Amino acid sequence: MERIEQLTASPSWLRRFDSIRTLLRAIVKRLSSPRSLLKRRTDGSESQTKTVTSLKIAGYSLVLMDPDGQVIWTREWDSGGVFEFGPRQRLWVFCGFTNYSENETEISEYEVELMDEAGSVVERFNSSFGDSVIVPPGESKHFPAEWRM
């Protein structure tokens, strides 16, 4: 009885092996064909050029929020002229806040807004802290942010 089970199990295993061998042959044939490689390269570059856009950035702003999500401070900066921000580029923004009030300021989240020449927000990115940051009166806090297109 065991011998019969072994004989019936072997052909199914061989069929699986045969299908794997066929699959591997097809993959090798596809990869070794220079025409298929060329076709994949041209197809990929055409799709990328259709979706690629750029942004023109003329300024940015920093928005600080409290634990309830309420805006507690904001300021806009000019970028020193309009610049074009394209694909696969990254933008680092370093903003600073100085607490000129007589009370501590609690910040739990900040947001950087990128603006075009008309002052419209074209992109937003943010960061939040696990615990709120307390800025005592007269002290400063710097907020770095990175955005990739």
pLDDT digits (tens, 9 = 90+) for 95-139: 889 999 999 999 999 998 989 888 899 888 887 777 889 999 999
* Residue 31, pLDDT score: 63
- Count of other CB atoms within 10 angstroms of residue 120: 9
Categorize the per-residue pLDDT at 147 as very low, low, confident or very high, splitting at 50, 70 and 90: confident
Rounded to an integer, the average pLDDT of 5-19 is 54
Categorize the per-residue pLDDT at 41 as very low, low, confident or very high, splitting at 50, 70 and 90: low
Rounded to an integer, the average pLDDT of 4-23 is 57
Q: Per mean pLDDT, which range of 42-46, 80-84, 110-114, 142-146 is the poorest?
A: 42-46
The single residue listed with the structure tokens 């937003």 is 124
Identify which has the larger pLDDT, 29 or 50: 29
Mean pLDDT of the chain: 77
DSSP symbol at 97: E
Helix axes 34-51, 2-32, angle to 10 degrees: 70
In contact, 77 and 60? CB cutoff 8 Å: yes
Nearest to 126 by CA among 139, 142, 143: 143
* Residue 30, pLDDT score: 65
For the CA atoms of the chain, what is the radius of gyration?
29
The single residue listed with the structure tokens 């020449």 is 117
* Residue 131, pLDDT score: 83
- pTM for the structure as a whole: 0.59
Identify which has the larger pLDDT, 39 or 73: 73
* Residue 137, pLDDT score: 95
